[in-house]
Structure formats: C-alpha cells, structure tokens
Chains A and B, each alone.
Chain A
Amino acid sequence: EVQLVESGGAMVQPGGSLRLSCAASGFTFSSYAMNWVRQAPGKGLEWVSGIRGGGDGTSYADSVKGRFTISRDNSENTLFLQMNSLRGDDTAVYFCARSSDLQYYYYMDVWGKGTTVTVSS
C-alpha cells in the first residue's frame, strides 16, 4: 500500500525551530518529486516546498524562503522539512505529498494525513 506518514509536529515558541519528517512506503521513493503543503486552521491549502526525486533541485514559497529547508534521504525513504525562525503564521497542518513525476512538481497524487505545527508563546 502506498503510504506517507508525517511526524515531528509540535507546539513551539516564535523564533524556534522544528524538523518534520515524512516516511514513505509502498513505492520507489527516489522516483518521485516530493512536496510539503500546509493548511492553516480553517484556511485553504498553501504549497510550501518541493524537491526533485534525486534531491538535485528544490523550490520554495516566498513565505518560507530562507527559513525552511527541504531535504530527502532516498536510502531511508524519508522526506524532511527543517523549519527555523518560526512565526505565528506558520501555524498549520503540514502535509507531505507525492508529485506525479520525478523531476517536476506537477499535481500531487498521494498525501499523508498531516502533522500539526503550532507556533505560540
């Protein structure tokens, strides 16, 4: 069964850091680009970042550029999101999502259930 399971969400103070993980199973992880998408409470979807299958290219939303870093370990079938300098507007459910292609971010055909990040003092 194709599956994505996120972890690492927590409550953190403004200015703090957090590292999210997404464990993939049921497919050849290295053959797909991967993404993080977030959803603030009661709001719509926002694409945060993407990384190519080989890890050789990344892209970020302007709202997180310079603060967040996406990475992957293809030997461990795991996607990561390092989040630094967290702000209140980073509060959201963070979804890990598989792109339909190796190189391009395209549409997202498999989604995890999400992990919750709350930034609050």
Chain B
Amino acid sequence: DIVMTQSPDSLAVSLGERATINCKSSQSVLATSNNVNYLTWYQQKPGQPPKLLIHWASTREFGVPDRFSGSGSGTDFTLTISSLQAEDVAVYYCQQYYSTPLTFGGGTRVEIK
C-alpha cells in the first residue's frame, strides 16, 4: 500500500498570509506512461463531507478559488493557499489514486492566527 504522510499536522496563519501544506507518498504516484501524477487534495469543514479541490496534483476543480494551488511530482507534493481567508479554515487531505487501496494523508488542520 502507498502511505501518504502530510505535514504539518496543523498550522495557524494570519488572514491574507500564505499557507503551505506538504504531502509525501511512500512511492512515486507519477505514471510514466502519461507523465501524470495521481494525486488529489480535498478540503473538509466541520460536519461536512470532503470537497474536491485539486486533482492530477495541480488541476483546480471547477469553482475552486485560484488562491488554491497544487504542485509537486513523484513523491512530494504541496497545497498552497496564497492568501488565507476566514472560510478556508478546514482540514485538508491529500489522496493518491495511483493504485488501490486508495490512501489518504492524515490531514492538516488550518486555523487563523
């Protein structure tokens, strides 16, 4: 199974400042056949289901604000919130879909400083 490790577990960022979340996979999720990373990011607010933010490591889902961006390749990935807004307070998860079982990172809680 591919193990996904997120860091930090939590972070507090001032409104308008940048938040950076890291995700590392135990093996590469880059498919050499099509040079695509099988990595996605979700946002989960309290009492709600997860919401898809980014897929293929860097493709923003329709309707997701452009302050959210994903980057990285192979085993190391980053979710960046360029200017944190109050509504961004949530837990963020990465997930690999390179192979089954699909696996998630442990989550990163983002709060306002």
In chain B, what residue has the closest Cβ to A110? Answer: B52
Interface pair A112/B49, CB less than 8 Å apart:
yes
Contact code string A34-52 (vs B, CB < 8 Å = 1, else 0): 0101000000111100100
In chain B, what residue has the closest Cβ to A6? Answer: B49
Interface pair B97/A62, CB less than 8 Å apart:
no
How far, in whole Å, are A111 and B40 apart by their CA atoms in the complex? 15
Interface pair A47/B102, CB less than 8 Å apart:
yes
Interface pair A106/B97, CB less than 8 Å apart:
yes
Contact code string B64-82 (vs A, CB < 8 Å = 1, else 0): 0000000000000000000
**Interface of chain A: mostly helix, strand, loop or mixed:** strand
- Range of interface residues on chain B? 20 to 34
Check if B85 is an interface residue, CB within 8 A of chain A.
Answer: no
Check if A59 is an interface residue, CB within 8 A of chain B.
Answer: yes
Interface pair B55/A47, CB less than 8 Å apart:
no
Min distance, Cβ A88 to any Cβ of chain B, angstroms: 21
Min distance, Cβ B46 to any Cβ of chain A, angstroms: 11
**Interface of chain B: mostly helix, strand, loop or mixed:** loop
* B50: contacting residue among A59, A100, A105, A111, CB under 8 A: A111
Contact code string A48-78 (vs B, CB < 8 Å = 1, else 0): 0010000000011110000000000000000
Min distance, Cβ A80 to any Cβ of chain B, angstroms: 19
Chain A: residues with Cβ within 8 Å of the partner, total of 24
Contact code string A89-111 (vs B, CB < 8 Å = 1, else 0): 00000010100100011111101
Instruction: List residues of B whose CB falls within 8 A of some A CB.
Output: 1, 38, 40, 42, 44, 48-52, 55, 61, 93, 95, 97, 100-107
In the assembled complex, 27 residue pairs joining A and B whose CB atoms fall closer than 8 Å, in A order, are A35-B102, A37-B50, A44-B104, A44-B105, A44-B107, A45-B42, A45-B107, A46-B104, A47-B102, A59-B100, A59-B101, A60-B101, A61-B101, A62-B101, A105-B102, A106-B38, A106-B55, A107-B95, A107-B97, A108-B52, A109-B55, A111-B49, A111-B50, A111-B51, A112-B49, A113-B48, A113-B49
